Structure 1
Amino acid sequence: MTPKTTPRAAARLRLTALAVLPVLAFSAACGSGDDGAGGARKSEDIASVPETAAPSPSTKADGGPSTRPAGKSAFYDAQLAYVRCMRVKGGYKDYPDPKLSGHLDWAKVDEIASRPGQMEAAKGGKNGVCVTELQKVMLAEPERDQQKDYESMLAHATCMRDHGVSRFANPTMSGGNAQPGGDPNPASPTIDSHSPVYKAAREACATKLLDGLDGMQ
């Protein structure tokens, strides 16, 4: 990934991550687990997830998220494991709890990834330290309605242009799957995601995106 790649562009790489994560996981097994973002501990130190919700939404001292929905779901539990890995092995101690839906809060993840030297927070940690957990998350995610996702992203793209981000591209459909729009060239961005106009547009258009799509475009 080049230095020009934004956290949001990194998040969009999740669309093709299933094809490359096994390779990254193998590379991570041969490399260091230290992400350089606060140190790392052995994986055995990851605490088990409690069966009941804690009253406080804050991060617990053992690195595990403090809340969980009433009842289990494979997707949510897989996301908990990924969050714990990013906090403990990745060193991102303020990595956000997943939403009750199981999806990550990508606004908070993007904020962490925008810090100097922490771009990997958006894609599994440095050297792929948490790619195995990320792969399990994507495999456990419930099947989405691709047509509804496309319509949601199209409404969002239209809203972004209406609010001054003229280059914001529409999503597309490919092989029955919705592909996000946004920056026409995410690997070398032409849209300034840090500009006041862009930030104002994102805030105004946030409700257009269905849950789980906020990190896609």
Structure 2
Amino acid sequence: MTSKSTPRSRWLRLAACVAVPLLTFTVACGSDGQARDAGVATVPEEPAGTGTTPSTPSGDGDGASSGDGASAAGGKGAFYDAQMNYVRCMRGKGGVKEFPDPKLSGYLDWTKIDELSSTYPEVSKGGKKGVCATELTEAMNHEPDRDAQQEYESMLAHAQCMREKGVSRFQNPTMSGGNVIPGGDPNPANPSFSHDSPAYKQARTACADKLLDGLDGMQ
């Protein structure tokens, strides 16, 4: 079963902060810009099938060769190009001159972005006064289809890993009626564990590879 990932990944927490429409789940922006509320990824009712994983665009990720990927299968090249437009906006009128290039998959590099948050508060707000909202929306519209079952299994493995690494109250994701409901904190409004604690950060680093590209921060 495939689903349109608009919006699905962690970078869409920006959309909530700048009031960009087209959200299919609800997120709450915390003081550090992270999505603190669980998202519900809506999956169209259609026969189950195998999700496609389009090829990544060519280039070394520095933005210089994004055009080479424009014809990549499934629109992955268009997604990368749209993300590069957003990145350029953030570096320019967005006021975050060190905003990193997206990964070759098109998804943003949140490890590097988070490192900038203390220097650039705008990094979690779509630039100064949300000036890059148009570019963000365009990137959202080009995000490729994703396989809901694969996403669920990825988030489940991540949740299990987080508990094994010491975050005992980290909850599993669930599947309901074709919807993927991320796990994580059982009560985001009244957190059961601190996302800023050394133990949580160590677990997050150790379990990062359990999440499919684009799912970081969903739970």
TM score, norm. by length of structure 2:
0.66
Task: Indicate whether 1:71 and 2:69 are aligned.
Answer: yes
Gap runs ≥5 in structure 1: 1-9, 24-51, 58-64
1:174 and 1:133, CA in 2 relative to 1: closer, same or farther beyond 3 A?
farther
Residue 215 of structure 1: how far off its partner (Å): 3.0
Residue 167 of structure 1: aligned partner: 169
After superposition, what is the alpha-carbon deviation per residue over 1:45-83, rounded to whole angstroms, capped at 9, x for unaligned? xxxxxxx957x95xxxxxxx4453742211001100111
Structure 1 CA distance for aligned equivalents of residues 65 and 217 of structure 2: 22
Residue 7 of structure 1: aligned partner: none
Secondary structure of the residue aligned to 1:207 is helix
Aligned ranges 1:29-44 → 2 under 5 Å: none
Residue 14 of structure 1: how far off its partner (Å): 3.7
Match of 2:185 among 183, 186, 191: 183
Match of 1:93 among 90, 97, 110: 97
Residue 21 of structure 1: aligned partner: 20
- Identity of matched residues, %: 62
TM score, norm. by length of structure 1:
0.66
Please identify runs of 4+ aligned residues in structure 1 that moved more than 6 A. none
CA contact (8 A) 1:87 1:95 kept: yes
Structure 1 CA distance for aligned equivalents of residues 159 and 99 of structure 2: 28
How much is the aligned-residue C-alpha RMSD, in angstroms? 3.0
Aligned ranges 1:1-217 → 2 under 5 Å: 11=10, 14=13, 17=16, 20-22=19-21, 53=59, 57=62, 65-66=63-64, 68=66, 70-72=68-70, 73-113=77-117, 115=118, 118=121, 120-187=122-189, 189-217=191-219
1:139 and 1:188, CA in 2 relative to 1: closer, same or farther beyond 3 A?
farther
Corresponding residue pairs, total: 168
Structure 2 CA distance for aligned equivalents of residues 71 and 140 of structure 1: 13
Residue type of the alignment partner of 1:68:
S
Gap runs ≥5 in structure 2: 1-8, 23-57, 71-76
Residue 102 of structure 1: how far off its partner (Å): 0.4
Structure 1 CA distance for aligned equivalents of residues 86 and 112 of structure 2: 15
